[in-house]
Amino acid sequence: MIKTLMGSIREYKKASLLSPLFVIMEVGMEVIIPLLMVRLIDQGLNAGNMHNTLMYGLIMIICAMISLAFGVLAGKYAASASAGLAKNLRHDLYHHVQDFSFSNIDHFSTASLVTRMTTDVTNVQNAYMMIVRVAVRAPVMLICALAMSLTLNARLSCAFLVAVPIMGIGLFLIIKNAHPIFERVFRTYDKLNNVVQENLRGIRVVKSFVREDHEIDKFGHISQKIFDDFSKAERLLAFNMPLMQFVMYACMLIIAWFGAKFIVTGSMTTGALTSLITYVMQILMSLMMISMVFVMITMAQASAERIVAVINEEPDLTDNDHPVSVIPDGAVSFQHVGFSYAGNPDKLSLKDIHLDVAAGETIGIIGGTGSGKSSLVQLIPRLYDATLGTVLVGGQDVRNYDVKTLRNAVAMVLQKNELFSGTIAENLRWGNAAATDEAIATAARLACASEFIDQMPDGYDTMIEQGGTNVSGGQKQRLCIARALLKKPKILILDDSTSAVDTATDATIRKGFKTIIPGTTTFIIAQRISSVQEADRIVVMDGGTISAVGTHDELLSASPIYKDVYESQMAASSKGDTPSPEDAAAIPESSVKGGMKRETV
Ligand SMILES: Nc1ncnc2c1ncn2[C@@H]1O[C@H](COP(=O)(O)OP(=O)(O)O)[C@@H](O)[C@H]1O
Ligand SMILES: [Mg+2]
């Protein structure tokens, strides 16, 4: 773990070394000062020698100034080293997460990744600051002061030999109990972030279902849990202070008591006792600092483990050693493909899928919710890898391609599509950074997006708010389609991408595909039969398997599921209401089971 973290220090190595170096010099000065004090008192003040008093006083002042300068430098370098480490850690995390496959992200959850990149990195940053400054300062100070006090009076210094082990044991017990609590707290933080993220993203749904109170309760509950855990951990850590102080004052008392006796019997000077007490203070201060560092490290350790877990996570989509970087055509073939989100062959979301699609063919996919439509098409651009069997694109196993090449050739409009903050034109250029204004306008026109973009006061320069909240669902879908068209892909996948677009516009958009990307293999997942009716072939999905394949007419006679869906949608539209996606989704599911039975008989 330490090695992984150290790997992120990089250009801040110099600062990380300079800081402790200045700290050591600072401590050196601080340790000399009490020695000068002995002289000042014994040879100056007590001897009534004004010259000595002034000289030692002056030297002390100079030493104090130098020590101050070293202290400032140490602080400066410590700040730059720790902030630098944090910067590099965030960079490394972010960079690494970009290589993650969907299943890597499923593994950590988005909220947890956010906590790790923010709160956890800050914890490590604070701990690192402590380490380069205090963790060096305290032991050095402890050793020097201990050595000095031993030379001043060995017998009195024995008091420490009793004090240090007592403090050590106390600290060990505290930390051992606090660490597991901190580990738990950070997991709860993930949950908190998740609730916040979910709530803010879905704020419209929350409001329309009047679930605010429920959401506030949920948040309050988790927030309370963090409070409880933190107070428990802090209560444990709070024992540290009284323990230190008890031991510290006990030492002081012993030394003052015996020291006074020694002075009376003449075996010790006043100056020596004064300095000894200063050293005692220094020793106890360093012990206290050491204990604080330990506490800080305990807290940061939990964070560091979480950061390292992300950095060490192997992206499970790895490139072939000799990746193929040319995709000959858009032919797609699923060969006995099985797929499980958990990678577990016993829990398959797709079972034994066998399907050959020629380049340029248009395939419609229909089936109830959860029947595996999205799972199936996600295997084509390798958003996930097949668990069993192989997926071929252009006659090659998708795993043989360079992932970038593959994804550049496949444009996918996801069911949960996203727009990013920026202008409409910027969003569309995600499809092709070099696209001319004309190309953008053409794509927008074919996706039926130009009609509303032209109405906007700023046209293509209209700003899209975060998450695309200032465009309607149907407008967002059309923008996402335009973005995909600009890519001029070999394979185009539309996962339920026109669900919020009216039927007539939907038909116009589909006609557009034939114009702008005639040779493109197209997969259209839809709830409405009308969206797939003209496809070359239609695949009917059911419970993770392909239940039937054929043209519209073939399926009407061969697939009872398809026939049921078609008839229910025709009935609904003749009544004058277009079925909403929810209705359409619900219907096939009820007919699915009956259909299956009839087919197996
Ligand atoms: N990210 C995921 N992790 C685990 N299971 C998932 C995930 N996405 C979908 N599933 C499961 O896979 C099955 C098929 O889902 P999906 O392909 O999205 O269906 P469809 O697109 O046909 O509605 C469902 O049972 C669903 O619960
Ligand atoms: Mg889906």
Ligand 1 centroid – CA 350 distance (Å): 9
Report CA 46 to chain centroid distance, whole Å.
66
- Nearest-atom number in ligand 1 for the CA of 370 is 19
Taking CA atoms only, the protein residue closest to ligand 1 atom 9 is: 375
CA distances from 242 to 161, 170, 237, 248, 288 (A): 19, 11, 10, 10, 11
Binding site membership of 373 for ligand 1 (Cβ less than 6 Å): yes
Binding site membership of 115 for ligand 1 (Cβ less than 6 Å): no
The two structure tokens encoding residue 132? 């380069």
The two structure tokens encoding residue 225? 């849990």
CA–CA separation, 140 vs 597, rounded Å? 80
Mean pLDDT, range 58-86, rounded to an integer: 93
On whether the CB atoms of residues 15 and 81 are closer than 8 A, the answer is yes
Query: Can you list the pairs that 232-241 forms with residues at least 24 positions away whose Cβ atoms lie under 8 Å?
Result: 232/181, 233/178, 233/181, 233/182, 233/185, 236/174, 236/177, 236/178, 236/181, 237/174, 237/178, 237/295, 239/170, 239/174, 240/170, 240/171, 240/174, 240/291, 240/292, 240/295
Binding site membership of 349 for ligand 1 (Cβ less than 6 Å): yes
Q: Which residues surround ligand 2, an ion (CB under 5 A)?
A: 374, 415
Q: Which residue has the tokens 């849990």?
A: 225
Binding site membership of 370 for ligand 1 (Cβ less than 6 Å): yes
CA–CA separation, 53 vs 247, rounded Å? 35
Binding site membership of 286 for ligand 1 (Cβ less than 6 Å): no
Which pLDDT band holds residue 591 (cuts at 50, 70, 90)? very low
Mean pLDDT, range 283-289, rounded to an integer: 81
Backbone angles phi, psi at 562, to 5 degrees: -60, -45
Taking CA atoms only, the protein residue closest to ligand 1 atom 4 is: 341
> Which pLDDT value is given to residue 575?
64
pLDDT of 270 higher than 60: yes
CA–CA separation, 264 vs 139, rounded Å? 34
Best probe residue, ligand 1, of 341, 376, 541 (max atoms within 8 Å of C-beta) = 341
Structural domains of the chain, with CATH: 2-311 (1.20.1560.10), 332-600 (3.40.50.300)
pLDDT of 211 higher than 50: yes
417-439 pLDDT per residue, tens: 788 888 999 999 988 888 899 99
Report CA 457 to chain centroid distance, whole Å.
37
Residue 319 or 48, more confident: 48
> Which pLDDT value is given to residue 581?
46
Mean pLDDT of the chain: 86
The DSSP bridge pattern shows strands 362-367 and 537-542 to be parallel
Which pLDDT band holds residue 109 (cuts at 50, 70, 90)? confident
On whether the CB atoms of residues 67 and 121 are closer than 8 A, the answer is no
Ligand having the closest approach to the CA of 585? 1
Ligand having the closest approach to the CA of 384? 1
Ligand 1 centroid – CA 376 distance (Å): 10
Mean pLDDT, range 140-146, rounded to an integer: 87
147-191 pLDDT per residue, tens: 888 888 888 887 777 777 887 888 888 888 888 888 888 888 888
CA–CA separation, 85 vs 108, rounded Å? 23
pLDDT of 336 higher than 50: yes
Taking CA atoms only, the protein residue closest to ligand 1 atom 3 is: 341
Q: Side chain identity at 249, as an amino acid letter?
A: Y
The predicted model scores a pTM of 0.70
> Which pLDDT value is given to residue 235?
84
pLDDT of 454 higher than 80: yes
The DSSP bridge pattern shows strands 491-495 and 521-525 to be parallel
Q: What are the residues whose beta carbons fall under 8 Å from the beta carbon of 219, sequence distance 6 or more?
A: 192, 195, 196, 199
Of 300-304, 457-461, 575-579, give the lowest mean pLDDT range. Answer: 575-579
Ligand 2 centroid – CA 413 distance (Å): 11
Binding site membership of 378 for ligand 1 (Cβ less than 6 Å): no
Best probe residue, ligand 1, of 103, 340, 344, 374 (max atoms within 8 Å of C-beta) = 374
> Which pLDDT value is given to residue 586?
40
| Three-state secondary-structure class, residue 527 | coil
Q: Is 486 exposed, middle or buried (0-12, 13-18, 19+ CB in 10 A)?
A: buried
pLDDT of 302 higher than 90: no
Give percent of the chain above pLDDT 70. Answer: 95
> Which pLDDT value is given to residue 159?
77
